[in-house]
Amino acid sequence: MRLVRIMFAFGLMSLSLATQARGDGGTVRAMERIDDCRITVFTSPTPLLTGPIDVSVLLQDAATGEVIANAHIEVTARAAELPDFAIKSIATSELAANKLLQAAQLDLPQTGWWNAEVNVQRIGQQTIRVQLEFEAAPPPPRWTILWPWFCWPAIPIALFCLGQCYSRRTRPSVIPHQI
């Protein structure tokens, strides 16, 4: 029974080390109602880091909440320090994990503040623009990503040692017979 409690406590500790669960879209960066549309812009990962990022857009009819899928969405990001340098990407539903969204992949080359613009063009309608800004942090050191792969063998070793300690305490002592 004690071993079960120890294993339960160990399981709870390992769950507390797990990363936070996130939805398919990421963090909401902007939500606006423009004309008859509601646009929600998500980014991931959280926090945003230099390198590849995902910008997902949910376009809905403002009155009914239904998803509008037939729109051309372009995402442009500019570094605040270098306004002439721009990164552009077309958002598609194929890139999105959640098929209600349209996602664009951007590769941020430097840290700092970025200004992004999401342009939505619907057939026969005026272009809708949503602007947002975000900060890109430097990527974490490589060891912080790889440490679980080097430390996982400690888990079965610790469980084996706990089992051995538990079995020695509960094992009855045997007195050899003298003949």
Give tens-digit pLDDT for 16-32: 544 443 445 689 999 99
Burial grade of 72 (CB within 10 A; 0-12, 13-18, 19 or more): middle
**Any idea which residue has 């899928």 for tokens?**
69
Cis peptide before 139 (omega within 30 of 0): no
- Mean per-residue pLDDT of the chain: 85
What is the C-alpha separation between 118 and 60, in angstroms, rounded?
A: 15
Give the pLDDT score at 118: 96
Per-residue pLDDT reduced to its tens digit, 67-122? 998 899 999 999 999 888 999 999 999 999 898 999 999 999 999 999 999 999 98
pLDDT for 174 beyond 70: no
CA dihedral 104, 110, 113, 115 (to 10 degrees): -40
Residue 41 CB burial class (10 angstroms; 0-12, 13-18, ≥19): buried
Superfamily of domain 27-136: Domain of unknown function DUF4426 (2.60.40.3340)
Supply the Cα-derived Rg of the chain in whole angstroms: 26
Q: Is the pTM of this model over 0.85?
A: no
What pLDDT score does 21 carry?
Answer: 38
Of the listed ranges 25-34, 42-51, 84-93, 145-154, the least confidently predicted one is: 145-154
